């Protein structure tokens, strides 16, 4: 047997439905939460926001946003110099040690080499031949002027003089390139090619070395760079020339051109030249901040303020009596912020906590 509702049940049912809507934050027209779209308004008074733990955060311009990236301190390739043995021989004297500051042209070491002695002898031979050719050319010019010899002979002696002079210049250049001076002592002086600090020294007095053996590595004073590891998505938001700083060390610099290829670890290795190295030293592991380029229409929000509603990235903008759903486009995701673009204004308040509870109360999946 079916029983109808007792007198007064309809009123009680209406009250129960109103109570249920109240538990769901009293959202205006509960059916509105069934498909939250852009511009949808979710009603929630101050008491309901407190009950669900909703907290607000301000929308800020993204001009000062920065990306935190791990990295290491390195010495730029163009700020290093390697001094190798130009010829094989025996090291006679070492004049610089690791940590020494040297000036360009300062002697680092000297060595004795029989190959250099041979080159010096060949240079002296070339000078003798040049002198003989010069005297012969002058004598033939005089004889030509007197009509004693034909012009062809004078031209031939002039050509021989030029060939002898060229050979002498070649032999002298070979000596300079090997760090040797004219004479016949077989000695080579190894000179610093740049101003800087001796980073490594592998030369020892009395040591026999082969040609091209590395003996010294120099680093230019204060020349340091950073190698930063970024994901392809992070690197896409950066541009060459962006400011880079390491706050803990007081170091500042700028980002160089972005590499076109990924590293073996599938990351993008960014290089930054430091114009102010601060207290950094080569080999140190650091956490650097890269300033994102200033672009109009970008805003910085707490990561918790971003949610998906209706399949789109959205935020809940606080208005009188509730929140307005505003769809946004994500430009960058940082460690402590998310950079978005959309119909926002600096200074607006968005829900940064309790967002999932708001969505659940509105009938949307958190």
Q: Does the residue 10 lie in any domain? A: no
pLDDT 10s digits, 266-284: 889 999 999 999 999 888 9
Q: Are 88 and 115 in contact (CB under 8 A)?
A: yes
Domain limits at 325? Answer: 25-65+296-361
C-alpha triplet 234, 236, 237: angle, nearest 5°: 70
Strands 243-246 and 225-230: what pairing? Answer: unpaired
Is residue 277 domain-shared with residue 321, that is, in the same domain?
A: no
User: Does one domain contain both 209 and 331?
Assistant: no
Short-list 116, 115, 130, CA closest to 169: 130
Cα(43)–Cα(316) distance, integer angstroms = 11
Give the number of domains in the chain. Answer: 4
Report the side by side order of strands in the sheet with 187-191.
187-191, 107-112, 89-94, 208-209
355 located within any domain? yes
Pair 89, 208 in one domain: yes
Alpha helices in the chain (DSSP H): 9-23, 46-51, 114-146, 151-177, 232-236, 355-361
For residues 285 and 71, give the distance between their C-alpha atoms in angstroms, rounded to a whole number.
6
For position 272, which CATH number holds? 2.40.30.170
- Output the pTM of the full model: 0.57
Average pLDDT over residues 222-249: 88
Are 151 and 100 within one domain?
no
Model pLDDT for residues 182-225, shown as the tens digit of each residue: 888 999 999 999 999 999 999 999 999 999 999 999 999 878 99
Q: How far is CA 39 from CA 42, 108, 298, in A?
A: 10, 74, 19
Residues 275-315: pLDDT tens digits?
999 999 888 999 998 987 666 788 889 999 999 888 889 99
Does 207 lie in the same domain as 104? yes
Is residue 14 in a domain?
no
Kindly report the CATH number assigned to the domain that includes residue 150.
Answer: 1.10.287
Query: How many C-beta atoms surround the C-beta of residue 222 within 10 A?
Result: 12
| 20, part of any domain | no
Residue 104 domain flag: yes
Q: Do 308 and 353 belong together in one domain?
A: yes
d(CA 42, CA 359): 9
């Amino acid at each position: 047997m079916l029983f109808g509702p007792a007198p007064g049940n309809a009123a009680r049912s209406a009250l129960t439905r109103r109570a249920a809507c109240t538990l769901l934050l009293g959202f205006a027209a509960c059916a509105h939460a069934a498909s939250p779209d852009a511009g949808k308004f979710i009603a929630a008074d101050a008491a309901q926001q407190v009950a669900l733990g909703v907290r607000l955060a301000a929308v800020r311009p993204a001009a000062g946003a920065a990306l935190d990236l791990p990295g290491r301190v390195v010495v730029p390739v163009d700020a290093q110099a390697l001094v190798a043995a130009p010829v094989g021989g025996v090291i006679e004297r070492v004049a610089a040690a690791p940590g020494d500051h040297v000036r360009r042209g300062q002697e680092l070491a000297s060595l004795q080499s029989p190959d250099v002695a041979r080159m010096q002898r060949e240079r002296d031979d070339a000078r003798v031949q040049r002198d003989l050719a010069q005297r012969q050319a002058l004598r033939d010019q005089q004889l030509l002027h007197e009509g004693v010899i034909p012009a062809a002979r004078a031209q031939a002696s002039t050509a021989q003089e030029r060939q002898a002079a060229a050979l002498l210049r070649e032999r002298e250049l070979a000596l300079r390139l090997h760090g040797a001076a004219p004479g016949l002592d077989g000695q080579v002086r190894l000179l610093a090619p740049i101003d800087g600090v001796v980073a490594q020294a592998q030369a020892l007095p009395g040591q026999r070395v082969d040609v091209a053996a590395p003996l010294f590595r120099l680093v230019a004073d204060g020349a340091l760079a950073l190698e930063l590891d970024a994901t392809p998505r992070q690197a896409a938001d950066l541009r060459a020339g962006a400011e880079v700083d390491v706050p803990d060390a007081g170091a500042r610099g700028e980002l160089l051109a972005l590499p076109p290829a990924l590293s073996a670890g599938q990351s993008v290795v960014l290089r930054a030249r430091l114009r102010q190295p601060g207290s950094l030293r080569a080999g140190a592991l650091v956490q650097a901040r890269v300033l994102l380029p200033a672009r109009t229409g970008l805003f910085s929000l707490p990561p918790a303020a971003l949610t998906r509603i209706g399949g789109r990235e959205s935020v809940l903008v606080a208005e009188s009596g509730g929140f307005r759903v505003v769809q946004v486009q994500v430009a960058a995701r940082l460690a402590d912020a998310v950079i978005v673009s959309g119909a926002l204004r600096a200074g607006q308040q968005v829900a940064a906590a309790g967002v999932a509870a708001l969505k659940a109360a509105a009938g949307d999946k958190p």
